[in-house]
Amino acid sequence: MAVDAARALRDRALPMEARFTALFRLRSLGDDRSVDALLDALDASVEPSALLRHECAFALGQMRAGRAIERLIEVMEDEGEDGMVRHECAEALGAMARRESRAIDALTRACGSSTREVSETASLALRKLKSGSVDTGSTVGSAKERASANERVVDGDDESGATPYLSVDPVPAMAASTPMETLERVVLDDTEDMYARYGAMFALRNASYASASSSDACADVLGRVLATSESALLKHEVCYVLGQLQSASPGARDALVRCLEDAREHPMVRHEAAEALGSIAHPSTKDYLETFAKDPEPIIAESCEVALSIMRAEQDNVFIGVDGTVAVIGT
Ligand SMILES: [Fe+2]
Ligand SMILES: [Fe+2]
């Protein structure tokens, strides 16, 4: 199975959506062969799509593939590589939750990077690793995350480092007891510490999961962050969280559309906005995704193609495999 998925991931004649389905499958299998396939595709001389390379880095971090650490460091430090891919490598090193000196040293160097998304991510990852904080994450998620779910049975702290979460947060969520007004104030304040803003954002997401009545209100706050914040890093993560929330809030949906259609916005933000719209799967946004699937920026066009397949999967609860097989995804 890993062999088929690895072959599909490599096959540039296949549509991007099929290659992403293969990537999700490899993340879910999580064996050595799958890690090797993802490492191969992380190489820019092998794989021209920055979108695909960044998703491989993300997957390796979420899988906590210790064997990938060396390569993730190399790619993070490669100044010729796309900023979004380098950012994702830094985030993956943080997600590993291993306080290995080579990762700590590399992240410390990356804090001085002149590429803002790399330096900001490295400092968050470093702080998380050094704090030894308990993981937080999401046990629910979009069709993409459900298709990527780890197949191994996980009960607490398993030796492979696997977690019970569909996704591990790059910064731990603030305590559930934090008042809603505090979370809202911190996440919206552009002068606040980024680590605190991330923590507030994940706490808002968790509050939204915990109570259906606060769900739209939380999504609205996150939508306001998209409209007002200067940080591309924060905004891309807000988009990701809105995709996890799958909120019906029209305010949040509009904010995501504004991000996608703003050509001056960082491609990393526009990409996550597209995928979040796919995950929310509201019929009113399908036209936007179809329009931007023709965007001249490959990261945006490919993201919209993948987002449309996530939208179909959300609506039908299935992903079409690379060989045409239909896989029902867990809920
Ligand atoms: Fe990211
Ligand atoms: Fe992404």
The domains of the chain are located at 1-132, 134-151+159-331
Tell how far the Cα of 272 is from the centroid of ligand 2, in angstroms: 6
1-132: CATH number = 1.25.10.10
- pLDDT at residue 169 greater than cutoff 80: yes
Mean pLDDT of 210-227: 89
What's the chain's average pLDDT?
89
Q: What is the pLDDT of residue 104?
A: 94
**Ligand nearest, relative to CA of residue 302:** 2
Tell how far the Cα of 4 is from the centroid of ligand 2, in angstroms: 24
106 or 163, which is more confident?
106
DSSP 15: -
| Identical topology for domains 1-132 and 134-151+159-331 | yes
163 φ/ψ angles, rounded to the nearest 5 degrees: -125, 165
Q: What is the pLDDT of residue 154?
A: 43
CB 197 within 8 Å of CB 186: yes
Of the pLDDT bands very low, low, confident and very high (cuts 50, 70, 90), residue 137 is confident
- Which H or E element spans position 137? strand 137-138
Tell how far the Cα of 270 is from the centroid of ligand 2, in angstroms: 10
Mean pLDDT of 41-55: 97
Non-local CB neighbours of 264 within 8 Å, separated by 6+ positions: none
Q: What is the pLDDT of residue 157?
A: 42
Of the pLDDT bands very low, low, confident and very high (cuts 50, 70, 90), residue 138 is confident
**Ligand nearest, relative to CA of residue 55:** 2
Reading the block at residue 331, the tokens are 């809920």
Closest CA to 145 of 259, 215, 239, 62: 62
Q: What is the pLDDT of residue 331?
A: 46
Q: How far apart are CA 294 and CA 138, in angstroms?
A: 32
Q: What is the pLDDT of residue 329?
A: 59
**Single-letter residue type at 187:** V
Q: How far apart are CA 73 and CA 301, in angstroms?
A: 28
Mean pLDDT of 99-111: 93
Tell how far the Cα of 313 is from the centroid of ligand 2, in angstroms: 18
Q: What is the pLDDT of residue 168?
A: 83
Reading the block at residue 282, the tokens are 């509201």
Mean pLDDT of 9-19: 94
Instruction: Report whether 282 belongs to an annotated binding site.
Output: no
Instruction: Report whether 55 belongs to an annotated binding site.
Output: yes
- pLDDT at residue 300 greater than cutoff 80: yes
Instruction: Report whether 237 belongs to an annotated binding site.
Output: yes
CB 222 within 8 Å of CB 236: no
- pLDDT at residue 267 greater than cutoff 50: yes
- pLDDT at residue 116 greater than cutoff 80: yes
| Neighbour-count burial of 57, counting CB atoms closer than 10 A to its CB (0-12 exposed, 13-18 middle, 19+ buried) | buried
Q: What is the pLDDT of residue 153?
A: 42
Tens-digit pLDDT profile for residues 172-198: 999 999 999 999 999 999 999 999 999
**Ligand nearest, relative to CA of residue 303:** 2
Annotation: CATH topology of 134-151+159-331: Leucine-rich Repeat Variant (1.25.10)
